[in-house]
Structures are given as C-alpha cells and as structure tokens.
Structure 1
C-alpha cells in the first residue's frame, strides 16, 4: 500500500513539472535509442545465427597470407578435399554477376557457381525440381540452373511448368532444373545457382582461381583444430609447387569463421566492441545527466526526507519514496526507446535493402527481436540503477542532524561541491572533445562530397571484367581477346569512345641523375595501365601524344604522366621524351614520356588537392593484365546502354568473368557520396545531441548546487548583496570548470588535429582547425554559461525571507 502511495506521489510530481519531465525523457530516450540501435544493427550483421537449418554449425573458410584475408584456390581444394579428418562437409563456390537476356534488353542477377553438396550443406531443398549434381559439372554437360523464388515469380510469373523452361544467362540457353524456397539466397545474396565446372579446378596452381569455401565439422572437432589442419594442408600443397611454378614465397594459414564474421574479414569483433563502447558511453552520459536532474529534485526534498528519517522511516523506505520519479521516467523512456528503435530498424531494413545492390546479404534483417528486447531491458535496468536508485540512495543517506540544524539548511558540503565541480569539468571535457572531433569529421565528409575529382563520368558506362587465365594463360592471348571485345564495343553507333585501365598500385620510380640513399627514398607514384584514349573519362591530353597501336610489345615502352608530376620533376622544361625507371611486377622497366595529361584524384589523394600526388599511365598493350575496368562513353539518353557491353562480351567469349554488373560509372561515386553525406549528418546529429546532453547535465548539476546554497543566497541578499553580484559569483565559479574542461579538450584536439592533418594529406590549412576549435569553444561556452545562468537567475529572484526559510 505504501509503495502505491509513493508511486501516485511520484506521478503527481512529474505532472506538476511537465518541462522537467519532457526534458529528462528526451535525454534518456536519445541515449537509450542510440545504444540500443547500435547494438541491434551490429548484432544482426555480425552475430545473429544464419537463418538456415543448423545455421549455427555452418562455417566459412578464410585463407591468410601476407597478413591479408584470402581464399582457397581450386588446385588446393582438389588436392586436400578428401584428406581432412576434422571435416564432415567441405565445399567451394564462387559468386558472380550474370546477365539474363529478356528480349532486346536484360537484367542482372547475383549468382553463385556451386557443386554437388552445396544445397545439402544449407539443409534446404528446392520446392520444385532438383539440385546440382556431379553430372552437371562434368565436361560437356548441358547448361543448367536453379533459380530463386523471386526470379521464378518475376521472370516466369510462377509458371508451374518451370522445369520445361529455359532462360538465357550470359548469352547461353540454360535449362531450369529447380526453384529454391522463398527467401533463400545462400551463400550471400544469390538468386541464381549454376554449376561450377570440373575443368575450372583441374588446372595448374599458377593459373588456378580462388574460391569461397564452406565447411561443417565432425562431432568432437573444434574450430581451432580444423583451422590448424586445413592451414597446414593448404600450406603444404602450396610449398610443394613454389619452385616448380615460380610462385611467390609465402606461408599460408587458415581459419574457420561464421559467414557473418568472414564477411568482415574476421574483424567484426573489433568494430562491434568499438562502436558499442561509444554508444554505451553516450548512454552513460545520458544516465548521469538524468541522475543529476533527479538529484537536484531530491535536494529540494532534503528537509522532508530528514524529518521522515527522524520519525523512524528506514533507509529502504526513504529510497523507495525518492526513486519512483526516476523509475517511472526510466521505464517510460525504455518503452518509448524500444518503440522508436523498432521503427528505426524497420526503416533501416527497407532503406538498405532498396539501396544496396541485390538487397545485401540474406541474413541482413533488422527488426525488433528477442536479443534487442533483452538488451533493451538490460539497458533500462542499468538506467534505473544509475538515474534513479543512486541519486535516491545518496539523498536518503544524508546526515539528519546537519539537515535539520538551523543555519545550515541547504548548505553544500565541501565533498559534494568538489564532486559537482569535477562532474561539470568532466562533462565539458567529454562533450567538447566529441564536438571538436565530430566537427572535423563532419566537415571532411562534407568536403569529400564536394571534391573536384578532375575527371568526367557523365554518360560513361563501366564494367569490371576478368579474362579467365586458365583458358587464356598467355598474355598475348588475353590481349587479343580484350582487343576483340573493345573493337566490338566501339563499333556500336551509340558509343563515342572506349578506354580500359587497371590500377597497378604505387610503383617505385628511379629518375635519372638522382642519387637515392636507399630504395625507401625513391618516389612511389600511382601507376595505371591504359588501353585506349584517357579523354573518354575526362583525363585530357595537354602536351605530346596519347597511346597508339604502336605502343605495344616489342617496341620501346612509353608512358603518360600527370601535370603535377611534370611540374614536380621537370620544372620549367618539357618532360617529353624524358625517361625514367619504374618497377612493375618486381621488374624494373625503362619508359619514355610521350604525353602529359590533366591531374585527377586517385586512391592516394582521396582527401587532397588535384595536384598533390602524381600519376603514371603505362600502355596496357605493353603491360598486360587479365583484369580490366572498361569505360565507354555513350550518346546521351542511349536506351539499354548496358546491353552494348553484354552483347559484345557474348559475341567475344561468354566465359569472361564479370565482377560487377555494367552500370553508369557515376553510380558508385554517387553511392559513396551518399554514404559520406549520411556520415556527415550522423556526425553533426551526434554532436548536437552531445551539446544537448551537456546543456541538460550541466543545468542539472548547477541546479543541484544552487538548490543546496539557496539559504546562503538568502543570507547574502539580506546583508546587501545585489542580484548581479550573486549571479556573477556563481558564473565565475562555473567558468573555472568551463575553462579547465575546454582547455583539456583543446589540448587533446591539438594532438588529434595533427593526425587529421596528415591523414587528409593537408587538405585543410592549419587555421581551419583553429577556426573549428574557436567555434566549438564559443558555442559550448555560451551553452554552458546559459545552463548555469538559468537556475542561478531563478534562485536570486526568490525573496530573501523565503530563501532564509527555504527547506
């Protein structure tokens, strides 16, 4: 009965102070929602069990060498698949993008090349037809495919005679042998499954392709044992062929991960922990602020609490009376946060599945689930403990005699005052640091969105392709195939020009007449192999000539260089016909400059100026690669522009591997900019919320401090102190904490700004960081001083006689 009375009393107090209730609820809901959404989003991506039968036992295999995340080769798989003792199931697959021809146009679908046992591993059978068997992967087998439920509905309108139908995938008539259940997209986002042919695996190790692999362990075997056995087996096969096939000398190892963790390169734990720590700190800050606000309210009831204690009320009874305001606010905040997060997760589900190609991985489903509910409950309990119980416990355990003694009513102890000052200083430091870093991060994102990139992708289509090396092992064969493809694309009446390139990374350059102390002192310059005219993508010739058909194997090796490189290494003179040495594929080559082109952003100068880094373009007819990124400029408003590439590819060789679907070259750039815009909005939003937390928290602390010194204020006014003097006294005391907190934050920011300056390649001048610091300091100082001024002004307006009688 007494508890019910306390609850009713707490509700009356909350309804009597609607502004206070709304403010504390807003802060709490913000902190809870950020923490809960971060947890649920990352948990679904990284840790949630695969939505498949026995999904918890399905493992993905990752091979490591040179400290990088790699995959097993077909040669290695063929040689070890029957020798592993800890594996119950073991298989490989490959992902690709395929083209479904529909009339004069077509559609792209995410597909997988699989072998017998793949669908059995996923413990899922087709709803119609059969799965891929050994005879489907044999040499000379007829082309067959399984399709997803969605493809069945969209392309064949759910025709029950689907097994009598054929579809044209990558220009090849393919028999449909089965339909998978609705929602099935294993291993990632596949909607079509084709046989992985035996002939692709029976190849020498130097041309063997890499494949994704999966496994399920035998009973009693551990993940560590299986990873060790597999790593040793793979490494042994590799070492046996290093000298025989002139392979790079390296050591291989293997790990078994969940499919989700493998997608993050095994670094999912780090990202999950870091981002959750950040969100939990925000929740902790919100809880502290709400706790301080509630503590300020309990201070106003100290005399009442002391009288109750003097009349015999136990500590538990007093805590119950004082904490119900916080319990109600925390509970309501928890419920509203769950509803808000549930809506946000549903929106995220819709947004990302429509925004990402192929809707993302099949296990990416966000919504209110049991782990999110349990974590929401845990967060709410923690919030009640920090925001309700601890302030009530602290107030209930006061010194009754001190509180009831005349002349010390409302006095603030030295300990309480010191704690209050430390809390204010800490909050100012944390919030200032967050706002400073957030401002720079947000501005970098904004700057990236509006960078001048030095190229022109308007009306340019792009395709990433790889010539199968097992079919075309010689570089001359690869080049001939690509030249044939390029000519077919260029012959289309709607195509203006075609170019292909392949980024070779940073190459070590040796300039004639220069002395270098060591290899590390030589310049490293971004290098790109090019076949065609660079003006296709807006990299224009400014001096000399472009590449021609004469810049081929057997002729002297030539290069184009960027304007920035020409000015840097040949200032005041023409670089044409100058020569230098460049290291490509571990071989030093002597090249001659035949042309100079405009500067553009490249992977090494993503945050810098156009002229801050140099580029070298080598003739792709002399430096041949099986992988190429093809760009072709089209006449504006060309319908079905992607069909131009696919028809040329099917007419050349349909076994050409596509990494991504053909699309406008600007699409990825727009997606990247949209991502950066979202990051910028999130960063600025987080900074604004941090500012709100600072204002609310410091207001609560100041209100608490002022409430405890109300009696002192009454005495000062009674002896003649003016309102202005009293207000200035409180503001000066608060300014000390502000200066200390801001000083520490600015000192830390100075160190971080140095790192930002180097990371962004000096994109922003030094005074930019100074301006950010001044803006944040002024803005936060104004906010903090207003948060201190409001409760002080309210207190000094109280009549001295009322302040002296203040309880």
Structure 2
C-alpha cells in the first residue's frame, strides 16, 4: 500500500512539472536510443548467429603468419586433410563473381565454388534437386550448378521444371541440378554454387592458389587443440617447401573463428567495442544528466527527508519515496527508446539492402530481435540504477543531524554543493572527450570526401582478374594470354584505351651513388607494374616517354616515376636515364628512368598531400604478374560496357578468374565517399547531441545550485556586494570545475592521439591535434560559462528583499 502511495505521489510531481518531465524524457530517450541502435547495428554485422542449423559449431579456418590472417592454399589443404583428426568435417571453397549471360548482355552474381559435403556442413538440403557430389568435382565432369531461391524466381520465373534448364554461367552452358531454400546464401552472399574441381589440388606448392576453409570440431576436441594440430601440420608442409621454392621464411599457425569474425579478419570485435564504448559514454552522459536533474529535485527535499528519517522512516521507505520519479521516467523513456530504435532498424533494413549490392552478408537483417530487446532492458535497468536509485540512496543515507544543521533557509549545504561540483566536472570531462574524438573522426571523413586523387576515372571500367597459374605456370605464358585479351578488347570500336596494373606497396628503393646506414633507412616507395598507357586513367606524361612493346623481357629494365619522386631525389635536374634499384620478389632489380608522370594518391598516402605520394611504375612486360586490375576507357554513349570485357575474356580463356564484378572504376570510390559522408554526419550528430546533453545537465545543475544560494545572494547584495562581484564569484567557481574537466579530457585525448598518430604512420600533421583540442576547449568553455552565467544573471536581478524571503 505504501509503495502505491509513493508511485501516485511521483506521478503527481511529474505532472505538476511538465517542462521538467519532457526535458528529462528527451535527454534519456536520446541517450538510450543512440546506445541501443549502435549495439544492435554492430551486433548484427559482427556477432549475429548464422541462420543455419548448428551454426554455433561451424568455424571458419584461417592460416596465421607474418602477423596476418590468410587463406589456406590448395596444396596445404590436400597435404593435411587426411592427417588432421580434430575435425569431423573439413573442406574448402572459393568465393567468386559469376557471370550470368542473357542474350547480348548479362549480370554478375555472387557465387562459390564448393566441394562435396559443403551443403551437408551447413545442414541445409535443397528444396529441389540435389547438391554437388564427388562426381561433379572430378576433372572432365559435366558443368552443373545449384542456384538460390532468388535466382530461381528472378531468372527462371520459378519454373517447376528448373532441373531440366540450363544457364550460361561464365560463358559455359551449365545444367541446374538443384535449388536452395529462400534466404540461404551460405557462406556469405552466394546465389550460385559451382563444383570446385579436384584439379586445383594437383598444383605445386609455389603455384597453389588460396581458398577459404571451414570445419566442425569433434565433440571431444577444443578449439585450442584443433588450432595447434592444424597449425603444426600446415607449418610442417610449408617448411618443407621454403628452401625448395625459395619461399619467405616464417612460421605458420592456424586460427579458428566464427564466419562473422572471419569476414573482418578478426577485427570486427575491436570496432564493436570502440563504437559501443562511445555510444555507452553518451548513455552514461544521459544518465548523469537525468540523475542530476532528479538529484536537484531530491536535494530540494533533503530537509524534508531528514525530518522523515528523524521521525522513524526506514532507509528503504525513503529510497522508495525518492526514486519512483526516476523509475517512472526511466521506464517510460526505455519503452519510447525501444519503439524508436525498432523503427530505425526497420528503416536500416530497407535502406541498407537497397544501397549495398546483394544486400551484404546473409545474416545481416536488422530489426527488433531478442538480443536488442534484452540489451534494451539491461540499459533500462542501468539507467534506473544510475539515474534513480543512486541519487535516492545517497540522499536517504544522509547524516540527519548534519543536514538539519547544514544550510539555513534558502541556502545550499556543503555536501550538496560538493556533489553538484563533481557532477558538473564529470559532465565536462565526458562531453569534451566525446567532442575531441568526434572531431578527429569528422576530420578524417571530411578529408576523405574531398580528396584530390590525381587520376580520372570518368567513363572508365575496371575488372580484377587472375590468370590461373596451374594452367599457365610460366610468366611468359601468362603474359601472352593477357596480351591476347588486351588486343581483343582494343579491337572494340567503343574502347578508347586499355591499361592494366598490379600494385605492390612500399618496396625498398636504393638510389645510385647514395650511402644508407642500414636496409631500414632506404626509402620505401609504392610500385605499380603497368601494361599499356597510364594516361588511360588520367595519369599523364610530364617528361620522357611511356612504356612501349620494347620494354619487355630480355631488354634493359625501365621505369617511370612520379613528379614528386623526381623533385625529391633529383631536384633541379632531369631524372631521365637515372638508375636505381627496386627490391621486388626478394631481388634487387636495376631500372632506368624513361618517363615522369603526374602525381596521384594511393592507399599508402590516402590522407596526405598529392605531392607526398612517390610512385615507381615498372613495365608489366618485364615484371609479370598473374593478377591484374584492368582499366578500359569507353565512349560516353557505350551500352553494356561490362560485356566488352566478358566477351573478350570468354573468347580468350574461360578459366580466367574474376575477383570482383566488372564495374565503373569510380563506383567503389563513390561508395566509400558516401560511407565516409554518412560517418561524418553521424559523428557530427552524435557530438551535437552530446553537447546538447551537457548544456542541459550543466544548466540544470547550475540553476539549481544558484537557486539554493538565492538567500546568500540576497544577503551579499544587502551588505553592498555589486552584481558584477556576485556574478564573477559564480563564474570563478564554475571555471574551476571547467578547468579540471577539460584538463582530464585533454590529457586522455593526448594519449589517444599519440597512439593514433603512430598507428596511422603520421598521416596527419601534429598541429592538427593541437588545433582540434584548442577549438573544442574554447568552444566548450564558452558554452559552459554561458550555462553558468544565465541562471546567475537571473538571480542577481532579483530584489534583495525577495531574495531574503526566497525558499
């Protein structure tokens, strides 16, 4: 009965102060919604369970060496699969873009080449037909494919006789042998599954290609045991081939992780913790603000509480009386946040799947799921604890005698004043930290969006291709095949130019006639092998010449360099015919400069100036690579431009592997810039909300503190203190809290900036961090001092006689 009375009393207080109630709810709903949405969005991307049976036991297997997670090679897999006993199921697959041809055009479909047992591993049966079996992967087997439910409906109109149909996949007429259930896109975004030929496991170690691996542990085997056994087996195979094929010397190991973690190379957890940490800071800030506002009301009733305690009220009863206001606000705010986040997640589902081609990973489905609901409930309980229980418990456990003695009519107690100052300092620290980190993130986004890249991708298509080394083991064979492909492309009337390159980052360069104290002191310069003219993608010749057919194997090795490199190492003189050495494939190759081209940015110097990106261009006819990124410029009116490449490729050799779909070269860049723009908007929005929270909280605390000292203000004015002196007194007290909060935030930001500066290899100038820190400190100081000045000004305008009677 007493609890019901307390609840009715709390509702009465809230309805009597609608502005206070609305402001508190707004602060709480904002903080809860940001934190809950961030958790749900990232949880779906990184940790949401795979929508397949026994998903928790399905593991992705990677090979760890040289500090990175890598794929297993076909040679390694075939060498260890029989000896490894930790797995009840063990296999590999290869994700590829598959070309579905329809008359004169077609489309790219995400697909996978798989072994027999792949679908059994996913514990999913086709709704029509059969899965890929052992006979389908044998050399010379008839081409067959399983298709997804979506492909069945969109390409074959849901034809019930689908098992008698054929599709033109990668230029080959392929029989459909089965249809998988709706929503099945395992292992990631696949919509077509083709047999992975057994021939890929018959290549030599140095030519073997890499594949994704999967496994399911035996019931009596731990992950650590499986990693140790598999890692030792792979390392033994690798060490046997190090000297035989002159491979890099390092130790190999194995790492098992979920398919979700493997998608981000194990880095998803770091992003999850970092971004959730920021959102939880905002939630903490919101809780502190709500707690501050409720504490201010509790402090106003502190003497009443002390009198009740003196008359025999228990601590539990006092806490109940004081905290029900906070419980009601937290509960209502939590329900509103759940509704708001649910609507935002539904919109995210629609927007994301329309924005990202293929909709992303097949477990990426946003909505109000059980995990989000449970986390929302947990957030509500945390909010109740911080915003309602702690202030009430603190107030109820006061020293009755001290409270009744401390503070006269209309005065603020020492204890209440100390709590108020600590809370203001905490808010300043939190919001300053958020604004400092957010400013760096916003600058990164702005910098990326407005980058001048130094190239021109207008009307340029790109294709990433790999010539199968198992079929063409000799570099000369690979080059001949690519030259034939390039010639067929150039014969098309709508092709303006074709160029191919392979980027090799940070190769060691030794300049002639210069002494270097160590190998580490030599410059590291990004190097690109080129077949064709760089002007195709807007990298224009400044001096000398482009590569020609004479820059081939057996002739003098040649290079082109960027303008920045020419000015840096040969200032005031022509670099043409100068020579230097490039360490490529563990061998120092002497090259002669035959041309200078315009500067451009590349991934190693993405956030630097255009002239800071030195580059070396080597002739792809002399340094041959089986992997090439092909760029071809087309006439603006060209229709089905991607078909030009596919037709030339199918006419040359259908075994050429495509890493990604053929598309406009500018597409990825625009998508990344759009992503950065979204990140920038989110960062600014989050920072603005945090600043709004700080203003509300600090203003509320200051207004309450000033109100409690109104009687003191009246006495000071009555004995002759000027308005200016009283205002300065309050501002000085607020400045001390501001300095402490900002000082702690700046120290933390300095530590974070130091780590970030080293991690990003000093891509940002040091002064930038000082500019950001100074801007945030000045801006936040002005806002905080205004939040202190406003209620103080209102108090000093009150007539002394009214202030002395103020309760």
**Higher deviation after alignment, 516-525 or 299-308:** 299-308
Matched, 1:785 2:785: yes
Deviates more, 1:275-284 or 1:545-554: 275-284
- What residue number does 2:211 align with? 211
Q: 1:194 to 1:41 in 2, by over 3 A?
A: same
Shift of 1:256: 1.7
Per-residue CA shift, 1:218-238, capped at 9, x if unaligned?
222111111211112222222
Partner of 1:33, secondary structure, is: helix
Closer, same or farther: CA 38–586 of 1 in aligned 2, 3 Å: same
Asked if the contact 2:61–2:212 (Cα under 8 Å) also holds between the matched residues in 1, the reply is yes
Q: Does the C-alpha gap of structure 1 residues 406 and 696 become closer, same or farther in structure 2, counting only changes over 3 Å?
A: closer
| Distance in 2 between residues matched to 1:229 and 1:767, nearest whole Å | 50
Q: Are 2:75 and 1:72 equivalent residues in the alignment?
A: no
CA RMSD, 1 decimal: 2.1
Distance 1:752 1:237, change over 3 A: closer
Describe how 1:117-156 pairs up with structure 2 within 5 A.
Answer: 117-156=117-156
Q: Give the C-alpha shift of residue 47 in structure 1.
A: 2.3
Tell me the distance in 2 between the aligned counterparts of 1:744 and 1:242.
Answer: 53
For 1:548-559, list aligned pairs within 5 A: 548-559=548-559
SS at match of 2:100: strand
Aligned pairs for 1:695-734 (under 5 A) are 695-734=695-734
Q: Which runs of 5+ in 2 are unaligned?
A: none
How many Å separate the matches in 2 of 1:757 and 1:53?
Answer: 45
Question: Which residue of structure 2 lines up, in the alignment, with residue 309 of structure 1?
Answer: 309
Map of 1:35 onto structure 2: 35
More displaced stretch, 489-498 vs 690-699: 690-699
Give the corresponding residue for 2:20. 20
- 1:270 is displaced (CA, Å) by 3.0
Change (3 A) 1:694 1:313: same
Counterpart Cα distance in 1 of 2:694 and 2:76:
58
Tell me, in whole angstroms, the C-alpha distance in 2 between the residues paired with 1:310 and 1:456. Answer: 81
Aligned equivalent of 2:87 = 87
TM-score normalised by length of structure 1: 0.96
Structure 2 residue matching 1:576: 3-state secondary structure:
coil
Q: Is the 8 A contact 2:61 2:213 kept in 1?
A: yes
Instruction: Answer yes or no: is the 8 Å Cα contact 2:406–2:414 preserved in 1.
Output: no
1:97 paired to 2:97: yes
Q: Secondary structure at 2:185's aligned position in 1?
A: coil
CA contact (8 A) 1:200 1:470 kept: yes
Corresponding residue number in structure 2 for 1:519 = 519
Q: Secondary structure at the match of 1:681?
A: helix
Q: In the TM superposition, what is the alpha-carbon distance from 1:702 to its structure 2 partner? A: 1.7
Residue 376 of structure 1 pairs with residue 376 of structure 2: yes
Distance (Å, rounded) in 2 between the aligned partners of 1:82 and 1:752: 48
Report how far residue 365 of structure 1 moved. Answer: 1.6
Rounded to whole Å, the distance in 2 between the matches of 1:710 and 1:747 is: 36
Q: Secondary structure at the match of 1:297?
A: helix
Once the two structures are superposed, residues 501-557 of structure 1 have per-residue CA deviations (whole angstroms, 9 ceiling, x without a partner) of 000111211111111111111111111000000000000001111000000000000
SS of aligned partner of 2:7 = helix
Alignment of 1:464 onto 2:464 = yes
2:700 & 2:220 partners in 1: Cα distance? 58
Seen in structure 2, the aligned counterparts of structure 1 residues 235 and 759 have a Cα distance that, compared at 3 Å, is closer
Q: Aligned pair 1:614/2:618, yes or no?
A: no
Instruction: Please give the alpha-carbon distance, in whole angstroms, between the structure 2 residues aligned to 1:550 and 1:19.
Output: 81
**Cα deviation, residue 217, structure 1:** 1.6
TM-score normalised to the size of structure 2? 0.96
CA distance in structure 2 between the aligned counterparts of 1:47 and 1:769, rounded to whole angstroms = 34
Contact 1:608 1:761 in 2 (8 A): no
CA contact (8 A) 1:607 1:760 kept: no
Shift of 1:134: 0.9
- Do the aligned partners of residues 37 and 654 (structure 1) sit closer, same or farther apart at CA in structure 2, a change above 3 Å counting? same
**1:705-725 alpha-carbon deviations (Å, 9 max, x no partner):** 224323323332443444444
Deviation, structure 1 residue 473? 0.3
Offset, 1:201: 1.3
SS in 2 for 1:215: strand
Give the aligned length: 807
Deviations 1:31-75 (A, max 9, x none): 212221222222222222211011111111111111211122112
State the Cα distance separating 1:438 from its structure 2 match: 1.9
* Match runs of 1:289-328 below 5 Å: 289-328=289-328
Give CA-to-partner distance per residue, 1:254-302, whole Å, 9 cap, x none: 1221111211212333333333233222212221121011111112222
Taking the aligned partners of 1:290 and 1:49, their CA distance within structure 2 comes to 35
Deviations 1:466-488 (A, max 9, x none): 00000000000000000011111
Task: Indicate how the Cα distance of structure 1 residues 58 and 745 shifts in structure 2: closer, same or farther if over 3 A, else same.
Answer: closer
Once residues 9 and 799 of structure 1 are traced to their aligned partners in structure 2, the CA distance between those partners, rounded to angstroms, is 34
Q: Distance in 2 between matches of 1:724 and 1:386?
A: 37
Q: Distance in 2 between matches of 1:10 and 1:743?
A: 39
Does the Cα contact within 8 Å between 1:536 and 1:632 map onto a contact in 2?
Answer: yes
Q: SS where residue 575 of structure 1 aligns?
A: coil
2:682 is equivalent to residue 682 of structure 1 = yes
- 1:505 equivalent to 2:502? Answer no
Unaligned 5+ segments in structure 1 are: none
- Seen in structure 2, the aligned counterparts of structure 1 residues 792 and 400 have a Cα distance that, compared at 3 Å, is farther
Q: Tell me: CA distance 1:121–1:745, structure 2 relative to 1, closer, same or farther (3 Å).
A: closer
Change (3 A) 1:477 1:39: same
Deviation at 1:425, TM superposition (A): 2.7
